[in-house]
């Protein structure tokens, strides 16, 4: 009996070792994950340099060991590190343009990287060339997806604090705006809730506002992560972000956001939000409720990218919401025709002109067809046709395919309405600009 137990345990142990051996190396921890600078006084420029160097070294050792680029677009380790790493845009030498005294802290989303904030950074820098723009890298991000298994939301909050402090130390900065995408919005909100009296913070820009997960089972993730590492795994072909999603990532997002809607503290600084009614990652209705009930500032606005499903557009109603109609399916950008179904969570922060995620970008989000060894549909989705369409994950059904008449669908990676969002953000950061008039002109 005892001998059987030993043998049975030994068999299970061998099975465990075999399963570990079969796990792709990029789904294991790198031993050098992105973190919070031990020295909280570390100059931001040095933080950027050291972070990028670390990412390049990790990717070079773990993703480029065979020589070939693993990324769609054939990016090098240095190029991927530049995309994934933190960055800053300093005032232009000799510029007399606007932006003096303005600072913008950009905070990216879960499994993303600062690259998802690049379009916004470009827009703000062009409008405010004398402003200072900084983007932090959330700990556990930027290297390999395996580093997401042990990342903690408390470290994300700490790097947000580090970014804010880097501006607080600058006497030349009087007006600081926290600009978040997805999980970055929750970090911006949490920072303000924890530091409500910071006189430098003059507003929040919250894109794909994440105050609650879409999944009703999100509350289970803190428990499930102890028995299962991954919710979804992919080949990690995106040079800008992780494609695989760990249970720990979901758990830490839940822990970060679980009390945001319960907070009694109103948000009394100006707020500009942008949310898709069809968002399949976050709870869009909860974001709308947050805006209506907890944002008390007079200077506020919510850009609501409406759904073709009318019932998604009405709950709850309140003032200062600008609804963007779905628009036509067949569209065109700078001479390139494309088809567009609805606004995806992953799309709102990116310009259609982006060279990686845009209309003519190098990366196509075809993960729905990424099913090795049969890659025929994936390759056809990558190539595309006159019937291929961009949209949110809810269009994956047969009914939607029939209604929209598409062959393959790509999850949206750019915002066709980005120029209007850009104008709203620029107006929002200018206290003399009439925000409501700007939104009405969308």
pLDDT tens column, 101-131: 999 999 999 999 999 999 999 999 999 999 9
- Let me know: does 55 contact 84? Beta carbons within 8 Å: yes
> DSSP characters for 27-57?
GS--S------SSTT--HHHHHHHHHHHHHH
Partnered with residue 390 across adjacent β-strands are 340, 410
d(CA 33, CA 145): 10
- 241: Cβ–Cβ under 8 A, 6 or more apart, which residues? 84, 111, 112, 113, 115, 116, 141
Retrieve residue 389's tokens.
């369409």
Retrieve residue 111's tokens.
């499994």
pLDDT tens column, 364-401: 999 999 999 999 999 999 999 999 999 999 999 999 99
Q: Give the predicted TM-score (pTM) of the model.
A: 0.94
pLDDT for position 10: 42
* Residue 249 reports pLDDT greater than 70: yes
Q: Which domains does the chain have, with CATH numbers?
A: 28-337+417-440 (3.40.50.1820)
* Residue 312 reports pLDDT greater than 90: no
> DSSP characters for 95-131?
--SS-TTEEEEEE--TT--GGGGHHHHHHHHHH-TTS
The pair phi, psi for residue 173, each rounded to 5°, is -100, 120
* Residue 187 reports pLDDT greater than 70: yes
% of the chain residues with pLDDT over 70: 95
Residue 68, number of CB atoms within 10 A of its CB: 9
d(CA 433, CA 310): 32
Find the mean pLDDT for residues 46-67: 96
Cα angle 278, 280, 284 (rounded to 5 degrees) comes to: 60
Find the mean pLDDT for residues 122-151: 98
pLDDT tens column, 8-49: 444 344 334 434 546 788 999 999 999 999 999 999 999 999
d(CA 304, CA 206): 12
């Amino acid at each position: 009996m005892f001998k059987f137990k030993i043998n049975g345990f030994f068999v299970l142990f061998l099975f465990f070792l075999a399963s570990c051996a079969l796990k792709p190396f990029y789904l294991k921890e790198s031993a050098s994950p992105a973190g919070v600078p031990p020295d909280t006084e570390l100059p931001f420029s040095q933080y950027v340099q050291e972070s990028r160097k670390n990412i390049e070294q990790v990717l070079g050792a773990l993703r480029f060991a065979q020589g070939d680029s693993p990324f769609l677009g054939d990016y090098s380790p240095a190029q991927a590190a530049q995309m994934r790493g933190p960055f800053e845009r300093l005032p232009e030498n000799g510029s007399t343009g606007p932006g003096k005294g303005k600072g913008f802290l950009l905070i990216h989303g879960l499994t993303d990287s600062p690259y998802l904030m690049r379009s916004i950074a470009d827009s703000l820098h062009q409008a405010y060339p004398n402003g200072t723009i900084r983007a932090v890298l959330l700990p556990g991000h930027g290297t390999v997806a395996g580093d997401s298994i042990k990342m903690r939301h408390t470290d994300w909050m700490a790097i947000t604090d580090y970014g804010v402090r880097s501006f607080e130390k600058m006497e030349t900065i009087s007006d600081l705006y926290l600009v978040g995408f997805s999980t970055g919005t929750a970090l911006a909100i949490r920072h303000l809730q924890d530091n409500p009296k910071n006189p430098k913070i003059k507003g929040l820009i919250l894109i794909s506002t994440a105050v609650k997960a879409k999944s009703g089972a999100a509350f289970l993730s803190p428990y499930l992560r102890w028995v299962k590492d991954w919710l979804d795994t992919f080949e990690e072909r995106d040079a800008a972000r992780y494609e695989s999603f760990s249970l720990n990532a979901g758990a830490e997002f839940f822990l970060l956001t679980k009390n945001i809607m319960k907070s009694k503290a109103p948000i009394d600084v100006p707020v500009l939000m942008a949310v898709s009614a069809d968002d399949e990652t976050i709870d869009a209705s909860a974001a709308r409720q947050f805006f209506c009930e907890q944002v008390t500032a007079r200077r506020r606005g919510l850009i609501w990218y409406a759904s073709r499903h009318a019932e998604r557009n009405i709950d709850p109603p309140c003032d200062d919401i600008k609804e963007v109609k779905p628009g036509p399916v067949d569209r065109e950008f700078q001479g390139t025709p494309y088809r567009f179904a609805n606004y995806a969570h992953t799309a709102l922060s990116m310009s259609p002109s982006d060279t990686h995620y845009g209309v003519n970008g190098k990366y196509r989000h075809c993960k729905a067809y990424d099913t090795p060894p049969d890659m025929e549909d994936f390759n056809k989705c990558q190539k595309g046709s006159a019937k291929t369409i961009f949209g949110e994950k809810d269009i994956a059904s047969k009914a939607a395919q029939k209604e929209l008449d598409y062959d393959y669908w790509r999850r949206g990676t750019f915002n066709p309405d980005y120029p209007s969002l850009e104008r709203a953000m620029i107006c929002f950061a200018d206290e003399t600009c009439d925000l409501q008039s700007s939104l009405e002109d969308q």
